[in-house]
Amino acid sequence: MADTQRTLSALLTLLADNSTGAVGEGDIRDLLVSLAPEYAIMSFSSTAETSVATVNTALKCSGTTADTASSTNMTVATTNRITYDGTPDVIAFFFAAISMTAAGNNKVTSWYFAENGTKIAATRTQRKIGTGADIGSAMIVGCTTLSTDDYIELWCENNTDDTNMTVELASPVMLLTFMKAA
């Protein structure tokens, strides 16, 4: 018998009244699978400039990424993407410490997470890069509800001009809550 991840409401219904002893070993396994944390840790294994064509336009960060560690229902692609492969819907918390450079001086930059190709405005953090060769750093955090095959990516934006930017180091991490979304 396969273990099944269940929503919180399904678990509460299943375990609401066990006076008849109807909760079996499969139900308990489903409970354990549903409460187990899901996670993914991605790192940039090689850097590449993100080509900026238009000021104030968010773009997916270039570079090759690697799966540092991930659980069963998470996939980390080499293209700067963490995908949730499980069911049911979950609440995801994600964060990243990033280091960056710019191809010019005095550049104000913004950094975001994007969900399914759309930037999440509430995750925006800004960093001014004084001298292009100087490595700046920033921290990004966010939260959203993910469904099967939803994905998170790291995005950047040059708020000064169309000068390119590079992620030098980044380790985006996604943690899914113990309680699945209802």
Q: Are residues 45 and 129 in the same domain?
A: yes
Largest CA distance in the chain: 72
- How high is the pLDDT of residue 6? 78
Tokens 């069911």 belong to residue: 87
* Residue 122 near residue 141, CB atoms below 8 Å: no
**Can you give the pLDDT at residue 83?**
95
Q: What is the DSSP letter of 105?
A: S
Distance, CA of 70 to chain centre: 12
**Per-residue 3-state assignment (H helix, E strand, C coil) for 57-89:** CCEECCEEEEEEEECCCEEEECCCEEEECCCCC
Q: What is the DSSP letter of 18?
A: -
- pLDDT tens per residue, range 53-80: 999 999 999 999 999 988 888 999 999 9
Q: Which two tokens stand for residue 74?
A: 């998470």
Each residue's pLDDT tens digit, 85-122: 988 888 899 999 999 999 999 999 999 999 999 999 99
- Are 127 and 99 found together in one domain? yes
Count of CB atoms within 10 A of residue 121's CB?
Answer: 9
Give the mean model confidence (pLDDT) for residues 8-22: 76
Q: What is the pLDDT of residue 175?
A: 83
Q: What is the mean pLDDT of residues 4-18?
A: 77
Whether the predicted pLDDT of 177 surpasses 70: no
Shared-domain flag, residues 5 and 65? no
Segments forming the whole domain that contains residue 19 = 1-36
What percentage of residues in the chain have a pLDDT greater than 70?
Answer: 96
Residues 50 and 119 in one domain: yes
The residue among 9 and 59 whose pLDDT is bigger is: 59
Is there a domain that residue 182 lies in?
A: no
Same domain as 43, residue 30: no
**Is the backbone peptide bond immediately before 172 cis, with ω within 30 degrees of 0?**
no
Verify that 58 and 4 share a domain, yes or no: no
The size of the chain, in residues, is 182
Residue 179: per-residue pLDDT: 53
